[in-house]
Amino acid sequence: MAILVLGGAGYIGSHTVYELIDAGKDVVIADNLETGHVEAVHPKAVFYEGDIRDRAFVDSVFDRETIEGVIHFAANSLVGESMTDPLKYYDNNLCGTKVLLESMVAHGIDKIVFSSTAATYGEPERVPILETDPTEPTNCYGETKLSMEKMFKWTGRAHGLRFVSLRYFNACGAHVSGKIGEAHSPESHLIPLILQVPGGQREHISIFGDDYDTKDGTCVRDYIHVTDLAQAHILAMDYLMQGGESSIFNLGNGVGFTVKEVIDTARVVTGHPIPAEVAPRRDGDPAQLIASSEKAKNILGWKPKHADLKHIIETAWNWHKTHPKGFVKEK
């Protein structure tokens, strides 16, 4: 019996596969390699290259492998792109999930752990954010993830499928082995962009707005290490295996850091002055996003082990300085 990881060649997917294999599980990966990297595929996992919108492909994986549960990361996830090309997000995220669920129902596979996002909440009315707080996404990416959660809910009611949706806050850091890490192209996330400065690929980091109503005027986010996220997927699958009912959990450290604090911490870690320049606000950025993860701690028994921001940035720096071009080999 194996766990099928859709999107297992991507950033959070590949880290989850590493944790599953360390925990002694059999893992099958399906990934279309549109944003994932074949180099991130764990050598002990069975790998299928294909797209979840392709019903014949998804059916063939379920026919050939004995799958006990699915962990679903296969989606587009760039906020800015989702605003300029929303139909791409409806096509991949929603149509892909529809095909996946049809195939799961046809094959009698009834457990799925889903990669969701804090972007389902939009501009929060309060922090820390609870799972029961209103969901009003301010971008199309968050909207499609929220719709995917609802697709699981209604499909579950009709066909007995159970799901866990994990709403991540700001995923960051890299595997402590230094073998895998974050490699987006183009990069849009704060920590890898900051580290491009000491990495010699960028002159300075832009701070998107310093006039927010926060302690230093810059946006506050809850940064959570990718390996801690990965662990939560394993706990969520165990929870479903033990008969747990469908549920939604936030995943964050419950502590907010401003953009300026993250830059200062990166200066300490790298020993580089990292020049920063204030730039206009980025469209759609809420001032503060901080998770309450009490539910995940109480019900799943989740305990983040890499919560310290300095340690998180150290793991990221260890990856980026040894892989300045991500998974592309240096010539």
Active site residues: 141
Site mask for ligand UDP (CB under 6 A), range 7-46, x = bound: ----------------------------------------
Contact 129, 80 (CB under 8 A): no
**Concatenated DSSP letters for 228-267?**
HHHHHHHHHHHHHHTTPPPEEEEES-S--EEHHHHHHHHH
187 binds ligand UDP (CB under 6 A): no
208 binds ligand UDP (CB under 6 A): yes
Interface segment toward ligand UDP; rule CB under 6 A; list 14-22, 97-105, 123-131, 184-192: 184-192
Binding-site member from 77, 82, 170, 293 for ligand UDP (CB under 6 A):
170
Binding-site member from 4, 67, 113, 219 for ligand UDP (CB under 6 A):
219
Total length of the chain? 331
Residues 266-285 that bind ligand UDP (CB under 6 A): 282, 285
Q: Is the dihedral of CA 26, 32, 37, 39 positive or negative?
A: positive
Shortest reach from residue 21's CB to ligand UDP, in Å: 28
Torsions phi, psi for 243 (to 5 deg): 95, 10
193 binds ligand UDP (CB under 6 A): yes
Shortest reach from residue 67's CB to ligand UDP, in Å: 31
Q: Strand, helix or coil at 157? A: helix
- Residue 63, C-beta contacts closer than 8 angstroms, at least 6 positions apart: 107
Binding-site member from 60, 138, 147, 188 for ligand UDP (CB under 6 A):
188
Count residues near ligand UDP (CB under 6 A).
15
Binding-site member from 17, 71, 207, 266 for ligand UDP (CB under 6 A):
207
221 binds ligand UDP (CB under 6 A): yes
Interface segment toward ligand UDP; rule CB under 6 A; list 10-18, 88-96, 188-196, 236-244: 188-196
- Look up residue 4 and give its two tokens: 């099928």
251 binds ligand UDP (CB under 6 A): no
Residue 206: alpha-carbon gap to chain centroid: 23
Q: Which is nearer to ligand UDP, 217 or 244 (CB)?
A: 217
Tokens 């990069």 belong to which residue? 187
Residues 145 and 141: their CA atoms lie apart, in Å, by 6
Interface segment toward ligand UDP; rule CB under 6 A; list 17-25, 87-95, 205-213, 298-306: 205-213
Torsions phi, psi for 299 (to 5 deg): -90, -40
Of 301, 174, 186, the C-alpha closest to 242 is 301
Strand pairing report for 111-117 and 162-168:
parallel
Shortest reach from residue 279's CB to ligand UDP, in Å: 7
Residue 280: alpha-carbon gap to chain centroid: 26
Q: Kindly state the helix (H) or strand (E) to which residue 202 belongs, with its residue range.
A: none
246 binds ligand UDP (CB under 6 A): no
Tokens 């996992």 belong to which residue? 45
Shortest reach from residue 266's CB to ligand UDP, in Å: 12
- The residues of the shown chain that bind ligand UDP, judged by CB under 6 A, are 79, 170, 188-190, 193, 205-208, 219, 221, 259, 282, 285
